[in-house]
Amino acid sequence: MKALEHGHGRIKREDWIAMFDNFMEEFSAIDRDQDGQLTREEWIEKFGNDDGFDAMDRNKDGKIDDQEFAQGMRIQQELNQLDADRDGKVTRAEWIARYGSDAGFEAYDLDGDGIIDPDEFRKVKVAKEEFDALDVDRDGKISREEWIERYGTAEGFDAYDLNGDGIIDPEEFRMAHATEEEMKRLDVESEAWENHAGRDQKITRDEWISRYGSPDGFEEYDLNGDGVVDPAEFRAVHLAKLEFQALDANNDGKISREEWIARYGSDAGFDAYDLDGDGIIDADEFRKSKLLEKPIYKISKTEWIARYGTEVGYDEYSKHGQAVLDADEFHYRFYASKVGSPSKRQLGRRALLGAN
């Protein structure tokens, strides 16, 4: 009997069919008007609140169809099996008890706090299933051609190809997908996302507080200080945080040279991120270096004049004589204009750290 993939193990086809039938019975009981879709109102009527609704609404159209429900329930079942003490989270010990080792635990522990909460588990599981659907040739990576075959366009591919090598590996996909899902949950102004007639694709301070309970961290994400966090800002900062957590193997809040080497195979690039030269990279250094490595903003001549009161100096900074000045050009000229004493490298560090 052919078996189907299920979590870290396998499930027999007849077991999946029986499981699916049970899911459909529950789906039908919730679907009061029997239109084949669950609305948020029907969900709340059944469960008393909308917890879990957005997680099952995979395509973010504001409704849950039978396939989304079955997939969501299967993920919930696997989570329940992992959560032996029924406290609503999965510890490393519970993971090992279920799978025999802690292999894969860190991939699900998105915030690196040593436990996997239901939201983290669902995000990673959904990302894995979506990755598998995209990876048509089963080579463990997604090419641009596979992306286009799945979505009809290359739009979005580069945002997931974090290292810009032309392919998306499982970790890149997991981190980028988790970031997109969190952005969607934060942007609560409507019931849809992107082209689904609704969301404004920016996060206000009120939306941030609604999600996290306080404004802590909002300014860190609002890179241009305009009072809202747009998708580019959110992706840049959130991805930097996820990458930092993946590098920080011992979860001590900093990256040693040894951890860097373990991750990348050499210490190439370590010193560029160690802005204060103390032999470790803290979270702030990593975020600033990552944002400088992949700048997301450009400065127009109008913005330059608004800042300095004159256009003097703008053309000097613009290496290519373009109408806008990107972050690479700004930092290059800023450092170059101050070469001498202290060194160019030290000035670069000071500029990033905000030193005088």
* 295-320 pLDDT tens trace: 555 566 776 777 667 877 777 666 55
- Predicted confidence at residue 213, as pLDDT, reads 85
Task: Indicate the pTM of the whole model.
Answer: 0.62
Same domain for 276 and 208: yes
Same domain for 342 and 285: no
| Number of structural domains the chain divides into | 2
> Percentages helix, strand, coil for the chain, rounded to the nearest 5?
55, 10, 35
In this prediction, residues 156-184 reach a mean pLDDT of 86
Q: Is residue 18 part of a domain?
A: no
Q: Is residue 310 part of a domain?
A: yes
Same domain for 311 and 247: no
* pLDDT band at 156; cut points 50, 70, 90: confident
Q: What angle do CA 174, 243, 327 make, to 5 degrees?
A: 110
Inter-residue contact 123 to 181 (CB < 8 Å) = yes
Q: Is residue 96 part of a domain?
A: no
Same domain for 248 and 272: yes
Q: Would you state the structure tokens that stand for residue 106, as one six-digit string?
A: 């860190």
Same domain for 271 and 322: no
Return d(Cα 324, Cα 305) in angstroms, integer. 12
Q: Is residue 115 part of a domain?
A: no
Percent of the chain with pLDDT over 70: 76
* pLDDT band at 193; cut points 50, 70, 90: very low
Q: Is residue 48 part of a domain?
A: no
Asked if the model's pLDDT at residue 91 lies above 90, the reply is yes
Inter-residue contact 3 to 12 (CB < 8 Å) = yes
In this prediction, residues 121-129 reach a mean pLDDT of 85
In this prediction, residues 25-37 reach a mean pLDDT of 92
Same domain for 286 and 215: yes
Same domain for 336 and 259: no
Half-sphere exposure of 216 (CA within 13 A, CB side): 3
Return d(Cα 183, Cα 230) in angstroms, integer. 9
Q: Is residue 36 part of a domain?
A: no
Same domain for 286 and 213: yes
- Predicted confidence at residue 62, as pLDDT, reads 83
Domain final residue, candidates 270, 293, 316: 293
H/E stretch holding 280? strand 280-282
In this prediction, residues 151-156 reach a mean pLDDT of 89
* pLDDT band at 325; cut points 50, 70, 90: low
Q: In which domain, by residue range, is 255 found?
A: 204-293
Q: Would you state the structure tokens that stand for residue 8, as one six-digit string?
A: 């870290």
Residue 129, judged by CB atoms within 10 A of its CB (0-12, 13-18, 19+), counts as middle
Inter-residue contact 327 to 310 (CB < 8 Å) = no
Domain final residue, candidates 293, 328, 345: 293
- Taking every pair of Cα atoms in the chain, the longest distance, rounded to a whole number of angstroms, is 76
- Omega within 30 of 0 (cis) for the link into 231: no
Same domain for 272 and 230: yes
Same domain for 273 and 210: yes
CATH number at residue 208: 1.10.238.10
Same domain for 252 and 326: no
Q: Is residue 57 part of a domain?
A: no
Asked if the model's pLDDT at residue 197 lies above 70, the reply is no
Inter-residue contact 315 to 321 (CB < 8 Å) = yes
